[in-house]
Amino acid sequence: MTIDPRITKAAEILVNYSTKVQKGEYVQILGDIESKDLILEVYKLCIQKGAFPTTKIGLPGQSYIYYKNASEEQLEHYPEISEEEMKKTDAYIAIRGNSNTRELTNIDPKIISKRRKVLRPLQNIRLTKKWVLYDYPSHSLAQEADMSTEEFEDFVFSSTNIDWTSFIKDLEKIQKIMQSGDEVRIVTKDTDIKFNTKGRKYIIGDGTHNMPDGEIFTAPIETSTEGHIKFSYPTIYGGREVDDIYLEFKNGEIVKFSAKKNEEFLKTMIASDEGAKKLGELGIGLNPMIKKPIKNILFDEKLNGTIHLAIGSAYKECGGVNESSVHWDMIKDLKKDGKIFLDGRLIYEKGKFLQ
């Protein structure tokens, strides 16, 4: 069987660059049937390196069956076996294909939120390991992106199979700009929002956790957010597509919100816990090969000429302290009339840094 050389290249990046798998390490490889070609290439590379990989394959409809039928006892059950396995894991590689991106659309979001809270400690352990997420160019993800499968393959591989070592040098320049100030203000005709990042660290999305990557991100000070923002693109979270999201903040918390589609779901997520009412992340999309939104946050948050804000949990490595079962990224396009001010100084206009 002949393997697409782009798949082989992607596997090499995930194993040799993103997670730097070494001999003797325990590696978890997660995925589904749609992404089996890349899973097998990653598995082969790990074996050749002398690592100890295991594969976990999810089946189409499995998540729906769980949430449709799980009892309260099952929803609240913490998987201690999975925790012990994660503690012993050195690297975690998730390769998602998704046979149906809307599988959970009709599941009560409160059920999903409850389960996320239970699994939060397990996720926290995973975040201390070497880990990377990759979305395989499956038929369903191509449909969601309004592309043919062939077009979507080109889109995915062009944004992932790049020289990451060289690209990081460009990102380092932008990191230094953002780290030099404290107050960030984002302005367009329908947005005027500001927050403080003093003492927080801006981190380069260098492809060691997300693939594709290509962003600069930080955690705003939790009580500092003021103003309003209208997001540009639909976003899918928990199997629900939410469109035309508007958020208004005062003293760091959401005081007003709306959406044209699935507003009730947005309301439920904001009410999940106290942390969900606050910002957990500011990110700036900088991947030059990602030029259009595709309703897939792994790609859309890296979209060149955009920023994204996430409500909910903050990344501790940035110095963030906000905790929540929610981390929901929302995208704002700045290419038409967007401006970013740092301590009152214009540093970014119409999708580009001025320095």
Domains along the chain?
A: 5-160 (3.40.1830.10), 164-353 (no CATH)
pLDDT tens for each residue of 250-259: 999 999 999 9
pLDDT of residue 295: 85
**pLDDT tens digits, 183-219:** 999 999 999 999 999 999 999 999 999 999 999 999 9
C-alpha to C-alpha distance for 83 and 105, rounded to whole angstroms: 28
pTM: 0.81
User: What is the crossing angle of helices 5-12 and 36-48, to 10°?
Assistant: 50
3-state secondary structure at position 264: helix
CA angle 22, 26, 31 (to 5 degrees): 105
pLDDT in tens, 209-240: 999 999 999 999 999 999 999 999 999 888 78
- Look-up of token digits 């996720």: 123
Question: Does position 100 have pLDDT exceeding 80, yes or no?
Answer: no
C-alpha distances in angstroms, 145 versus 140, 295, 298?
9, 6, 12
- CA 335, CA 304: separation in Å to the nearest integer? 9
Contact between 216 and 284 under an 8 Å Cβ cutoff? The reply is yes
- Single-letter residue type at 186: I
